[in-house]
Amino acid sequence: MVLVGHSMGGLVSRLQSYQSGDEFWRVLSDKPFSEIKGSEDEVSALKNALFFEPNASIRRVVTIGTPHRGSEFANDTTRWLGRKLIKLPQSLTDAGNRIVKQNPNVFRDTELLTVTTSIDSLTPESPIFPAMLRAARAPWVRYNNIVGVVPDDGFFNHFSQGSDGVVDLASAHMDDAEREIVVESKHQDIHRKPRAILEVRRILVEHLEEVREETRIANGQQVTNVAMLENAITVPSRERFSSKRLDDSPLPSVIPVSAILPVKKHAERDDVFEPIESPVR
pLDDT in tens, the chain (281 residues): 999 999 989 999 999 999 999 999 998 899 999 999 999 999 998 899 889 999 999 999 999 999 999 887 654 443 433 344 344 455 566 788 889 899 998 988 777 776 655 555 677 888 888 999 999 999 999 999 999 999 876 555 544 568 888 899 999 999 999 999 999 999 999 999 999 999 999 999 999 999 999 888 888 766 666 566 556 555 454 444 444 445 555 555 444 444 444 555 555 655 555 555 544 44
CB 120 within 8 A of CB 74: yes
31-32-38-42 Cα dihedral, nearest 10 degrees: 110
**Whole-angstrom distance, CA of residue 63 vs CA of residue 177:** 9
What DSSP state is assigned to residue 93?
H
Domain extents in the chain = 2-193
CB 203 within 8 A of CB 2: yes
**Whole-angstrom distance, CA of residue 277 vs CA of residue 281:** 10
The angle that helices 40-50 and 90-102 make with each other, rounded to 10 degrees, is 100
- Whole-prediction pTM value? 0.69
**Whole-angstrom distance, CA of residue 192 vs CA of residue 10:** 16
SS3 state at 57:
coil
Task: Write phi, then psi, for 64 (nearest 5 degrees).
Answer: -130, 115
CB 128 within 8 A of CB 121: yes
